[in-house]
Amino acid sequence: MSSCRGSRNFYYLCNANHETISLQLSSFNYKLSSTYRTPKKAIDLSTPITYLPGVGPQRAKLLESELNIITFRDLLYYFPYKHIDRSRLYYVHELTPEMPFVQVKGEILSFEEEGQGRKRRLIAHFTDGMGLIDLVWFQAGTFRWIKKSYLIGKQYIVFGRPGVFKDRINIPHPDIDSADSLQLGTMGLQPYYNTTERMKKGGLNSRSIERFTGTLFERLSALPLNDPDPLPAALRQQLNLIPLWQSLHDLHYPPSAEALRRATYRQKFEELFFIQLGLLRFARLRQQQVSGYVFAHVGERFNTFYRDYLPFELTNAQKRVIREMRHDMGSGKQMNRLLQGDVGSGKTLVALMTMLIALDNGYQACLMAPTEILAEQHYATFKEFLGDMPVRVELLTGSVKGKRRREPILKGTRAGEVDILIGTHAVLEDTVAFNRLGLVVIDEQHRFGVAQRAKLWKRPAPNPSCQGGEAVERPPHVLVMTATPIPRTLAMTLYGDLDVSVIDELPPGRKPIETRHFWEERTESLYRGIRTEISKGRQVYVVYPLIKESEKMDIQDLENGYADLCHAFPDLRISKVHGQMKSAEKDDEMDRFVRGETQILVATTVIEVGVNVPNASVMVIQNAERFGLAQLHQLRGRVGRGAEQSYCILVTKYQISPETKKRIEIMCETNDGFEIAEADLKFRGPGDLEGTQQSGMAFDLHIANLARDGQLVQLARDTANHILDEDPQQCKPEYASMWQHLRDLGKSAIDWSNIS
Ligand code: ADP
Ligand code: MG
């Protein structure tokens, strides 16, 4: 093995997720760092990995099946998850079991086997001349090989994580290198690669990968790759980013902590930049190619509603958002807007008024909700708001069947007599045809995938409508509403192709919800609280964590809870709603609660989104430890909709994990959905964030982290916008490899062109 690779050298702290935590580095003269030479002849990075010296067919197979490493390039992009600084040698007497990694130099005095059966272990007594420690192995099968490989009396450098057993310091399963083969101090940071159990069984560990990348870099340093840098030189210079080749090298074998930081920064930027470039290019293409219906004026129905029917004054935020949409819909381009607003901020009304603009311009509108309960509720809300205005609203869900479905609804929609169609996925069915659909509103977007969004956009009207005397066929304007507060950085990435409006103001007179944490055992005082509120005329939700609706155990939870409550409040009426009930039955129970006939609603998370009963003032969440932050916030949003003081009670077991405790604390501290979303993102990482998986746009980020690299997302987006302004035709020669790279990415990831 060559001495210019990092593996043979020294130690100490890791960088979790490529963030260097703490390093002790002396300045090393690192050979490879001087090898970013001009290429002589390029090495072909698409060479199968089996041809890399030391790999061979067997290992190549493992690398492919376990890590998806097929070519030289794949290996080049298989970055270590941490580096350990191996620049310091310790004395044996300095070691403590608290140290993360240590490295000592000395000799083995003797070997000894101890214990029986599964407790069998091999011990090497090791000394540096000043103190004594044990090196320990536990896999009996390897003992012979170890005893043969390491010679008594020879000088070794031993590296590992110290432990303690019977008052004596030991290093289990150490890395051992012969002291003379190791050039102390040539290099500080050793890469650590993720490997799988199956690889380990096949004899491949982080060290093996390190050998492979080492070999690859040796070859590349002789014949550097000719992959062009996808980031144009001018851009790199402007943003102070290092070249591709250097960053790839330094991500594996950084000559210093600073070099690692710069390499990481550059790769993160590149990753985020190309996501933004793809999204923004797609958005612009759509705007150029797809013109929208022009809703030129606000007319009779909007004005009548605003003047005579609106029961309260709009908040400034609502007014602003409606203005933004009026502008979009009048611009001649297709509107694609995301409306964000915390629970209770009044999005439904905004949707309704936007739809009235569509009607005023001679078009139909459609509102799509994720659940039947919600669709029904929107229907009821719309009916109530509109009163006797001449607007025909119909409801279409999976349970609307037969003649009623065919005749007034489908036929009416087709004929253009239905002004507003509200429904679930059912509105996407092929039997549903609009006469002139001008606006689609999707509520609680996170339940719908991009693909479904796309399906709506594509849907042409059966009778192309006339504008300015000409028949035109255009996609409807699209408004996506979500109450799941999405941190800005994530929104920019998930919905980066949409324009965003935010309602950042609640209707006046709302009192902040008080949130409290109860241990399970405190049923008595919980029931007393419920009793007090109900005696004031309020209503109460009690929610149980029913995660999978088919899970018998969880249903039991809800049923038991229902029985307990019936027992504790024999004089009250209690509704029960869960996902396994028949739709009609569910509606019935829900209606009774909405009408105030029942005082308590026992439910699962089916009520999570959108349900609106302003008289309800208490939300009790049982087993709150089983819900994520976003979900807790959604559930809490069911109360605090009236003028009364509302409460949210989070009930948990006595023993909860530190993370759960933190979640509960955040809930008790703040009502601000965006703050909660930020916290959620930090806790769980974006991949897990509720809704992002279903959204079908969960980006596979290799190196950047949306929770931590927020500022970089913004920079990437601004830069991408700038580039698109500068080279709208995508033909500038200095950007050629950048555009090519974007196209290559598109092939493997999301096919943007298909979405529209
Ligand atoms: P969400 O944004 O969660 O969908 P809703 O649209 O359900 O919120 O609105 C919550 C409640 O606030 C509803 O009862 C609605 O009628 C009421 N509301 C909406 N806008 C206003 C306003 N400007 N002033 C007072 N109440 C409002
Ligand atoms: Mg809503």
Q: DSSP letters of 267-301? A: HHHHHHHHHHHHHHHHHHHHHHH-B--------HH
The ligand minimizing its distance to the Cα of 445 is 2
Supply the pLDDT for residue 19: 28
**For residue 603, how far is its CA from the centre of ligand 2 (angstroms)?**
18
The ligand minimizing its distance to the Cα of 507 is 1
- CA-proximal residue: ligand 1, atom 25 (nearest): 507
pLDDT above 50 for 545: yes
pLDDT above 50 for 463: no
CA–CA dist 162, 167 (Å, integer): 12
pTM over 0.85: no
**Owner of token pair 């192309």:** 464
Supply the pLDDT for residue 596: 92
Q: Does 408 sit in the ligand 1 pocket, CB within 6 Å?
A: no
The ligand minimizing its distance to the Cα of 350 is 1
634 pLDDT band (50/70/90 cuts)?
confident
pLDDT tens-digit series, residues 646-660: 999 999 988 888 888
Mean pLDDT, residues 325-329: 92
**For residue 510, how far is its CA from the centre of ligand 1 (angstroms)?**
11
Would you say the CATH fold of 514-670 matches that of 300-503?
yes
Lowest mean pLDDT among 159-173, 383-397, 409-423: 159-173
Supply the pLDDT for residue 280: 86
Supply the pLDDT for residue 181: 62
Q: Higher model confidence: residue 707 or residue 3?
A: 707
**For residue 225, how far is its CA from the centre of ligand 2 (angstroms)?**
54
Number of the ligand 1 atom closest to the C-alpha atom of 612: 7
**For residue 516, how far is its CA from the centre of ligand 1 (angstroms)?**
25
527 pLDDT band (50/70/90 cuts)?
very high
Q: Higher model confidence: residue 342 or residue 155?
A: 155
**For residue 609, how far is its CA from the centre of ligand 2 (angstroms)?**
7
Reading phi first (left if > 0) and then psi (alpha if -120 to 50, else beta), residue 115 is in left
pLDDT above 70 for 226: no
What CATH fold (topology level) applies to the domain 300-503?
Answer: Rossmann fold (3.40.50)
Number of the ligand 1 atom closest to the C-alpha atom of 349: 6
The ligand minimizing its distance to the Cα of 339 is 1
**For residue 350, how far is its CA from the centre of ligand 1 (angstroms)?**
9
**For residue 405, how far is its CA from the centre of ligand 2 (angstroms)?**
25
**Averaged pLDDT of the chain:** 81
Supply the pLDDT for residue 5: 30
Among 612, 420, 629, 621, CA closest to 507: 612
The ligand minimizing its distance to the Cα of 353 is 1
Mean pLDDT, residues 335-341: 87
Supply the pLDDT for residue 97: 86
pLDDT tens-digit series, residues 732-748: 999 999 999 888 876 54
CA–CA dist 602, 587 (Å, integer): 14
pLDDT above 60 for 556: no
- CA-proximal residue: ligand 1, atom 19 (nearest): 346
**For residue 634, how far is its CA from the centre of ligand 2 (angstroms)?**
10
406: DSSP letter: I
Mean pLDDT, residues 666-681: 85
Supply the pLDDT for residue 754: 35
Lowest mean pLDDT among 34-48, 91-105, 259-273, 341-355: 34-48
Which of the listed residues 309, 318, 319, 348 should we mutate to test ligand 1's pocket, taking the one with most ligand atoms within 8 A of CB? 348
The most confident of 58-67, 272-281, 622-631, by mean pLDDT:
58-67
- CA-proximal residue: ligand 1, atom 20 (nearest): 346
pLDDT above 70 for 751: no
- CA-proximal residue: ligand 1, atom 13 (nearest): 346
Which of the listed residues 594, 612, 636 should we mutate to test ligand 1's pocket, taking the one with most ligand atoms within 8 A of CB? 612
Q: Does 507 sit in the ligand 1 pocket, CB within 6 Å?
A: yes
Supply the pLDDT for residue 159: 87
Would you state the structure tokens that stand for residue 214, as one six-digit string?
A: 């080492």
Q: Does 345 sit in the ligand 1 pocket, CB within 6 Å?
A: yes
The ligand minimizing its distance to the Cα of 375 is 2
Domain ranges of the chain: 87-187, 228-289+718-749, 300-503, 514-670
Supply the pLDDT for residue 533: 95
Q: Does 374 sit in the ligand 1 pocket, CB within 6 Å?
A: no
Mean pLDDT, residues 372-401: 89
The CATH number of 514-670 is: 3.40.50.300
pLDDT tens-digit series, residues 606-630: 776 557 788 999 999 998 988 888 7
Q: Does 642 sit in the ligand 1 pocket, CB within 6 Å?
A: no
Residue 57, C-beta contacts closer than 8 angstroms, at least 6 positions apart: 50
Q: Higher model confidence: residue 223 or residue 637?
A: 637
Distances from the Cα of 314 to the Cαs of 183, 348, 505, 524, 720, in angstroms?
73, 12, 11, 42, 36
495: DSSP letter: S
- CA-proximal residue: ligand 1, atom 1 (nearest): 344
pLDDT above 90 for 102: no
pLDDT tens-digit series, residues 467-492: 443 445 678 898 988 876 666 667 77
Supply the pLDDT for residue 484: 66
Supply the pLDDT for residue 701: 66
Taking residue 473's Cβ as centre, other Cβ atoms within 10 Å add up to 11
Supply the pLDDT for residue 688: 45
Number of the ligand 1 atom closest to the C-alpha atom of 341: 2
What CATH fold (topology level) applies to the domain 87-187?
Answer: OB fold (Dihydrolipoamide Acetyltransferase, E2P) (2.40.50)
Residues in the chain: 756
**For residue 579, how far is its CA from the centre of ligand 1 (angstroms)?**
26
Q: Does 397 sit in the ligand 1 pocket, CB within 6 Å?
A: no
Mean pLDDT, residues 536-557: 71
CA–CA dist 468, 512 (Å, integer): 51
